[in-house]
C-alpha cells in the first residue's frame, strides 16, 4: 500500500497553527495564563472542600472530583501544546501520542459520566430531600465516583486500541494541537468506516446518553421547584443547580461540536479553536463558575486565605 507505514512511526508532527507564527505567539501567552489560572482555581476548590468540614457533603465531593479531573485533563494536553507553540519543533513521540489520546479520552469520558452523577445528586437533593441522607451515603458516593472514573477509561482503552490498529500515512502530520480521534482518523490510509461507526457508538454512550439523563434529571427538578410556593425557596433551589447546568452546557456543547458534527460543518481552523476551548478554556471556567455562584465556596476560600480559626 503506497504511502502507508504499517509499523509504529517514530512520532507525529502536530501542525496546530504553524502557518500563522504570530497567532501562535499570542496563543502561547494566553494559554500559559489560562493554564496557571486553571491550576490555581481547581487546586483551591480541592483544598477548601477537603479542609473545611462544612463542605464534606456529596455535592462538594463530586465537585472535588471534577476539579481533580480538570487538573489532570489540562496537564495531559497543555504542557505539550505550549512546548510546540514556542518554536518550530512541533513533534510528539508515538508513545506520547498514544498516552495523550488514552488519558485525554479517558478523562473526557469520565467528565461526561461525572456531570451526570452530579445531576443525579441534585435530583435527589431537590426532588427527594427526605431520603437524601439515606440515598447519598458515603459508600454510595464512593461507588458512583468509582463508576464514573472506571467507565471513562474502559471506553478510552477500546478507542485508543482501535485508532492505533489502523495503518497511518507515512507523513504523520496531524492537523491539530493534540492527538485526538478526529485528527488521527484523517491520516489513516485505509477506509475508516468501522472507526467512524465505533466513534458514533462511543458518542451515544458517553455524550448522548449522559446528556439525556441530565436533561431528564433537570426536567424533574424544574417540576419539583415550580411546586414550591415561596419565591425565595424556588430561587435557592435553582441556585444550587445553576453552576452545574452552566458547566454542562459549556462542556457538552463544545464536545458535540468537535466529535458529533458533520465533517463539513466547520473549517479545520474553526475545529482547532473548538478543540482549544474544551481542552484549555472550559477547565479554567469551572472553578470560576462554581466560585462566583456558590456562597459556601466563597466563604470557605475567604476563611482559608485569612487563616481564621473561628
pLDDT of residue 1: 39
Report the CATH architecture of 7-306. Up-down Bundle (1.20)
Q: Is the pLDDT of residue 223 over 60?
A: yes
Say if residue 3's pLDDT is above 50.
no
| Mean pLDDT, the chain, whole residue set | 84
The answer to which of 182-191, 202-211, 214-223 has the lowest mean pLDDT is 182-191
State percent of the chain over pLDDT 70: 91
pTM of the model: 0.87
Mean pLDDT of 120-143: 89
Q: What is the pLDDT of residue 210?
A: 94
Strand partners of residue 13 = 91, 173
- The residues pairing with 173 across neighbouring beta strands, listed in sequence order, are 13
Least confident among 18-22, 114-118, 179-183: 18-22
Q: Tell me whether strands 4-5 and 168-169 are parallel, antiparallel or unpaired.
A: antiparallel
Burial class (CB in 10 A: 0-12, 13-18, 19+), 11: middle
Q: What is the DSSP string of 130-190?
A: GGHHHHT-HHHHHHHHHHHHHHHHHHHHHHHHHHTTS-EETT-EESSSS--HHHHHTTB-S
Indicate the domain borders of the chain: 7-306
Please give the grid coordinates belonging to residue 200: 458514533
Q: State pLDDT tens for residues 24-68.
A: 899 999 999 999 999 999 998 898 888 888 888 888 899 999 999
| Residue 189, pLDDT score | 81
Average pLDDT over every residue of 145-163: 93
Amino acid at each position: 500500500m503506497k504511502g502507508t507505514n504499517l509499523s509504529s512511526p517514530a512520532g507525529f508532527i502536530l501542525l496546530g497553527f504553524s502557518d500563522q507564527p504570530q497567532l501562535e505567539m499570542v496563543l502561547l501567552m494566553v494559554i500559559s495564563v489560562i493554564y496557571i489560572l486553571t491550576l490555581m482555581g481547581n487546586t483551591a476548590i480541592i483544598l477548601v472542600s477537603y479542609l473545611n468540614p462544612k463542605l464534606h457533603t456529596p455535592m462538594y465531593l463530586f465537585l472535588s472530583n471534577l476539579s481533580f479531573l480538570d487538573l489532570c485533563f489540562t496537564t495531559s494536553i497543555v504542557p505539550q501544546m505550549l512546548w510546540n507553540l514556542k518554536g518550530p519543533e512541533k513533534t510528539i513521540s508515538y508513545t506520547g501520542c498514544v498516552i495523550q489520546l488514552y488519558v485525554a479520552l479517558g478523562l473526557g469520558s469520565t467528565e461526561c459520566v461525572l456531570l451526570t452523577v452530579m445531576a443525579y445528586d441534585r435530583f435527589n437533593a431537590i426532588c427527594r430531600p427526605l431520603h437524601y441522607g439515606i440515598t447519598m451515603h458515603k459508600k454510595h458516593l464512593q461507588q458512583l465516583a468509582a463508576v464514573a472514573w472506571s467507565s471513562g477509561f474502559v471506553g478510552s482503552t477500546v478507542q485508543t486500541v482501535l485508532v492505533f490498529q489502523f495503518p497511518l500515512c507515512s507523513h504523520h502530520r496531524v492537523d491539530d494541537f493534540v492527538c485526538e480521534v478526529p485528527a488521527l482518523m484523517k491520516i489513516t490510509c485505509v477506509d475508516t468506516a468501522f472507526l467512524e461507526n465505533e466513534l458514533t457508538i462511543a458518542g451515544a454512550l458517553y455524550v448522548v446518553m449522559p446528556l439525556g439523563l441530565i436533561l431528564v434529571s433537570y426536567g424533574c427538578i424544574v417540576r419539583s421547584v415550580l411546586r414550591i410556593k415561596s419565591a425565595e425557596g424556588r430561587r435557592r433551589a435553582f441556585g444550587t443547580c445553576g453552576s452545574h447546568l452552566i458547566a454542562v452546557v459549556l462542556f457538552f456543547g463544545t464536545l458535540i461540536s468537535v466529535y458529533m458534527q458533520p465533517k463539513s460543518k466547520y473549517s479545520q481552523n474553526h475545529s482547532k479553536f473548538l478543540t482549544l476551548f474544551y481542552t484549555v478554556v472550559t477547565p479554567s471556567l469551572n472553578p470560576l463558575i462554581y466560585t462566583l455562584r456558590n456562597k459556601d465556596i466563597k466563604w470557605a476560600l475567604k476563611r482559608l486565605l485569612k487563616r481564621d480559626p473561628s
